[in-house]
Structure 1
Amino acid sequence: MGELNRHAELARLESIERSCIGRFFVALGAIDAQRMQLEELIKKRDPGPTIHRLPVELLVLIFHFTIVRPYYARTHKLDTIGYRRRSLAIVSRHWRDVILDTPILWQDICLASPQDRHTLVLQLKRSQGLLLDVTIINKLEDYSTTDELLHHLRPTTNRWRSLYIYDENSYPSTDSIVHVLSKLEFPSLVDFHIKMYPLDLEYLDLQNLLPRASALKRLKLQQISPADDFLIANPLETLELMFALDDMPQWILSRIPNFSLITLRLQGDAYDWVLEPNSIHFPLLEKLALDIPDPDQFLEAITAPKLQRLELTAYRCPWEAFSRSRSKFSSVYHLILNFGGSIPVDPHNGIALCRVFPNTRHAEFIYMADLLSLIMPMSSPGSPSGSQTPADNWASLETLSVLNSAWDLNHIEEFDLLVQWLQIRHGLGFPKLHIKFKGNSRNPEDISTIRGKLQDCCILEHCLSLSLGQFYTMAGKRSEEVFRIW
């Protein structure tokens, strides 16, 4: 009896197996038929442009780069962000829906005329509580409109992430705006930039506004003359002070939050400064930009053990007297130098400069002439080769850049000196440098000439670009050639 039961169970399981196999093959046939139908439908359907098939996340990222640009000039075309949004939204219904439903595309608020209250309220609603980047473009004739819009924006100050105030020669109304803002709180504000018209030499009272921004990290003041009681109590990471038509008072240095700064920029006249060596401490400073008279005095006064990047504008600077502090800036590896392009640096002074920053790995020069002054050989009886080149003191140099090469292309022979120095340097066992020449050239032959001269003695990463006019000229000539051949 037990044997019969086992045979019956085996027969039942084999029947189930045959049934499952049959359904399996039926399902495979149905899948193949469905796949063929879908492929036919896809072939018949017009796929349209590739951009319409992009994932929404990627499309939003592209729109964000296109629409929103931090701190760009909006002084002449004030509603450029709104214009870009509208231009993209009318391309298709899909784009319109993506723009309307994406809060990050509505974070930029620009208070400027022409603009109405309804548009501002709608934009705040679409931003859905995200942090806001606010720009106030102030013109005297538009102050009433700006003041009205600011009234509707006041309840959102807890969401302000950045604030940019641009004054177009209307100091009294800008002072009124600052006075209104000084009564509000900005717990999320991390970035504050204010730029006055160059002719406004009035004192702008920021003393009551800055303490209202407890989270402020970056402060940029352009063309502003702070009052004598001006004090920055915020633990800033970035500070930029740019004076144009007024002297920068020395007392401003005592109001800088030295112990939190990572980036500092000082620009303006400072002829009356008298600084003691090593009297100013910046324990966290990593980036420093100086465009002041006698920058050597300021550098001698500071101690910045973590300084890595220095941007220096110095038309005449006695580096020989400063070279005794060569170990002071051994951490600096990125130099950006502007000597004016027309005033050659004395070779002895150039050697002292290079020794002040002995571990330079990346050197950028604004003009070609600035570079040439540091690679010009000078006689040196104590040197084994009988001559010495200032830049040879940069034994760790890796990258060399010239940002305004186009101004020097009228004298191609100047590049022969660079080629000669690079060849000698490579012969001494130094690795090839990475060279970048930025700027535009009016003559395409210059570009090919420079490439031919440099290609064997360095790694040429970038060698100029054609100016737009020259590009069109070449394109026109090429079109004429094609037309004649045709």
Structure 2
Amino acid sequence: MNITPKVECVAMTQDLARLPGKTKRPLALRLNQALVTYGVSYISFIPNELLEMIFVETVKATRADEDSSSSCVPTSLRLRPRPELLLASVSQHWRAVALGMPLLWTDIRLFLRQNVDLVNLYLTRSQGQLLDMRFTGIHNQGLPEFDPDYLRISCIILSHIHVCRRLEVHGAFPFPKLLDGFKHIRAPMLEELIVHYPLDIPNSRHLLFTEGLPSLTSIELGNFSSISSDLLLSADRLTALTLNGLWVSGLSPENFSNLLSHLTSLTHLTLIGEPVDYVRSRDIPVVELPLLQTMILKPGPNISRTYMPTIFRAIRAPALRELVLDFHTATSSRDLQSLVDKLNRGAPPFPSVRLLTLCSRFMAYDGWHALAHAFSGITTLSVSKCIVNQLMGFLSCAGRRDAFPNLRTLLFDDMQFEWSLLLQLLQIREAAGMPVREVKMRGFGKHAQSELVGKLVTSLATYTPVVIGWT
């Protein structure tokens, strides 16, 4: 019986795996010689199941990099090679494996002036699996809703919306015909809808029609001046909501509260910029979100003095565990002074919070004092690199050594800070009976084996049993 070279090599590989360590060498040399003789590559031995896992992780990592880059320029999307296409072009074997994986072809990218054949190729290869569709484009001349290319892409989206899991529409143009089409076509599998568009274009009246979105779980909106109070009445599965805008085109407080009051399953809320128009309203309705676990607040530059304090007053979240305050884009500490004053004077707004994340370029002493008063129950505090030393100085000063009494974990964005301050802080907390047990730093991993960092970690362990790690 004739044995093919590849079968023979596979058999030798299996025998090699069963042999104990010291007896592998002769067979390994024979196997290597056979590979050279027959021209067989090591990678051809990978089972299809393992190859599929490699394909999935490769595509997943590439998409994650694209999402984190936050670049939505159509040209970059065109020039960037799609990983699944590259994998399918390596060899006939890899191509057969890739074509047998419908989930590999569910990420549909759409943009103006696109080759429709490529879109149809992905739709065919996805074989009816749930789709992630992204429409990105910039239209500089005329009205895109009358552009045949725009209408073609809108038709593609609407004709496949019934098997769409995630839809993102991002462009510097209005797209009312596309959004208006959602009123007439059911989208039973849609979990996430992300819409970005210029603040001066009133698209928001077209955005949400719950008759067609019974399974909606995540929505991101960029402008919502025309959202009416009766939206989302049946969106009882919505779990994540992101609002991004300016108060001049934002929701009225009444519509904002009415919107949230119907989201009984909401667990994540993100507010970017100043999406609620509290500036022109005195009667602020209060809404309770019983299942909200995470809230992210990222105010923009030159926010009104009423916005942040009113958000804290208008939302009640008894189950809130994580609060992120991102003040990086705030122009100065004066923009946040009203919030600091409110936190200093009032009762703690979210006593259930256990993880507080603070991103800022500067935090004054009274700001730390206000946070310590408002969030005394936190067990984990994460701060950006610009304010690490300020935090440690605040916690080490004689008058505030009892701040955050339950604090057990510190998370830092960077390892570039005064290590002597950290050592002092850990000693003070240990002596006061409120020890910090864990310190994590982003980027620490690549320096963990250096001699200097080794000495610092050793000195820390000498004084207090703290775990030093990285994220």
Q: Show CA shifts across 1:147-171 (max 9, x none).
A: 224434543221111100011x222
Give the corresponding residue for 2:214: 214
Alignment of 1:356 with 2:410, yes or no, is: no
Unpaired runs of 5+ in structure 2? 1-10, 16-26, 300-304, 328-332, 461-465
Q: CA deviation at 1:424?
A: 1.5
Following superposition, the deviation at residue 184 of structure 1 comes to 2.1
The 3 A distance-change label for structure 1 pair 79 and 289 is same
TM-score by length of 1: 0.71
Alignment pair present for 1:185 and 2:186:
yes
Q: How does 1:288-367 map to 2 (within 5 A)?
A: 288-292=295-299, 294-313=307-326, 315=333, 316-317=336-337, 318-319=339-340, 321-322=342-343, 329-338=350-359, 340-346=360-366, 349-367=367-385
Mapped to 2, the partners of 1:462 and 1:165 lie a distance apart of 36
Task: Report if the CA contact (8 A) 1:250-1:273 is conserved.
Answer: no
Amino acid at match of 1:282: L
| Deviating more after overlay: 68-77 vs 287-296 | 68-77
Q: Is the counterpart of residue 461 in structure 1 residue 462 in structure 2?
A: no
2:438 aligns with one of 431, 434, 438: 434
How far off its partner does 1:79 sit?
4.2
Give the superposition deviation at 1:86.
2.3
Change (3 A) 1:46 1:190: same
Q: C-alpha root-mean-square deviation of aligned residues, in Å? A: 3.7
Shift of 1:375: 3.9
Q: Does 1:158 align with 2:158?
A: no
Deviations 1:112-153 (A, max 9, x none): 245333332232221111111111113326853342244345
Distance of 2:470 and 2:12 partners within structure 1: 51
Judged with a 3 Å threshold, the aligned counterparts in structure 2 of structure 1 residues 242 and 356 are, in CA distance, closer, same or farther, namely same
Partner AA of 2:34 in structure 1: R
Write the distance in 2 (CA, Å) between the matches of 1:432 and 1:378: 13
Alpha-carbon distance in structure 2 between the residues aligned to 1:59 and 1:287: 37
Tell me how far apart the structure 2 counterparts of residues 154 and 247 of structure 1 sit (CA, whole Å).
28
> Aligned in 2, Cα 1:325/1:304: closer, same or farther, shift over 3 Å?
farther
Amino acid across the alignment from 2:123: L
- Give the match for residue 6 of structure 2: none
Deviations 1:175-221 (A, max 9, x none): 23223444322111111001124x64434432564542111110011
| 1:275/1:297 contact within 8 Å kept | no
Summarize the Cα distance change of 1:437–1:448 in structure 2 as closer, same or farther, 3 Å threshold: farther
The answer to whether the aligner puts 1:389 opposite 2:400 as a matched pair is yes
Q: Specify the code of the residue in structure 2 equivalent to 1:367.
A: K
Go from structure 1 to structure 2 and tell me whether the alpha carbon gap of 1:80 and 1:204 turns closer, same or farther (over 3 Å shift).
farther
Separation of aligned partners in 1, 2:324 and 2:156:
42
Tell me the secondary structure at the aligned position of residue 194 of structure 1.
Answer: strand
The answer (yes or no) to whether the contact 2:209–2:232 under 8 Å persists in 1 is no
The answer to whether the Cα contact below 8 Å between 1:278 and 1:300 also exists between their aligned partners in 2 is no
User: Does the alignment pair 1:62 with 2:75?
Assistant: no
Specify the alignment match of 2:428 in structure 1.
424
Helix, strand or coil at the partner of 1:265: strand
CA contact (8 A) 2:295 2:322 kept: yes
Q: Which residue of 2 aligns with 1:132?
A: 131
**Contact 2:383 2:411 (C-alpha < 8 Å) held by counterparts:** yes
CA distance in 2, matches of 1:345, 1:86: 54
Q: Which amino acid aligns with 1:418?
A: L
User: C-alpha distance in 1, partners of 2:32/2:326?
Assistant: 63
Match of 1:205, SS state, is helix
The answer as to whether partners of 1:161 and 1:191 remain within 8 angstroms in 2 is yes
1:263 Cα shift?
Answer: 0.7
The answer to whether 1:286 aligns with 2:306 is no
TM-score (norm 2): 0.74
What is the letter of the counterpart of residue 462 of structure 1?
W
User: Which consecutive unaligned segments of at least 5 residues does structure 1 have?
Assistant: 1-34, 380-386, 464-486
Partners of 1:418 and 1:139 in 2: CA distance: 49
Question: Hey, what's the Cα distance between the residues in 2 that align with 1:80 and 1:184?
Answer: 33
Q: Decide whether the 8 Å contact of 1:238 with 1:263 is kept in 2.
A: yes
Aligned partner (choices 377, 385, 410) of residue 400 of structure 1: 410
Aligned mates of 1:399, 1:89 — CA distance in 2: 46
Give the 3-state SS of the residue equivalent to 1:78 in structure 2.
helix
Conservation of the 8 A alpha-carbon contact between 2:242 and 2:270: yes
1:213-247 Cα offsets, whole Å, 9 max, x none, are 1111100113x243153633322211000115845
Distance in structure 1 (CA, Å) of the matches to 2:272 and 2:164? 28
Identity percentage of aligned residues? 23
Amino acid of the structure 1 residue aligned with 2:253: Q
In structure 1, what is the Cα distance between the partners aligned to 2:13 and 2:180? 70
Q: Which residue of structure 2 lines up, in the alignment, with residue 253 of structure 1?
A: 257
Q: Kindly tell me: are residues 321 and 195 of structure 1, through their superposed partners in 2, closer, same or farther at Cα, counting changes over 3 Å?
A: closer
2:148 maps to what in 1?
144
Deviation of the 1:299 alpha carbon: 1.9
State yes or no: 1:45 paired with 2:34.
yes
Among 268, 271, 291, the alignment partner of 1:266 is: 271
Cα distance between partner residues in 2 of 1:398 and 1:369: 19
Q: Tell me if 1:376 matches 2:394.
A: yes
Which residue does the alignment assign to 1:170? 173
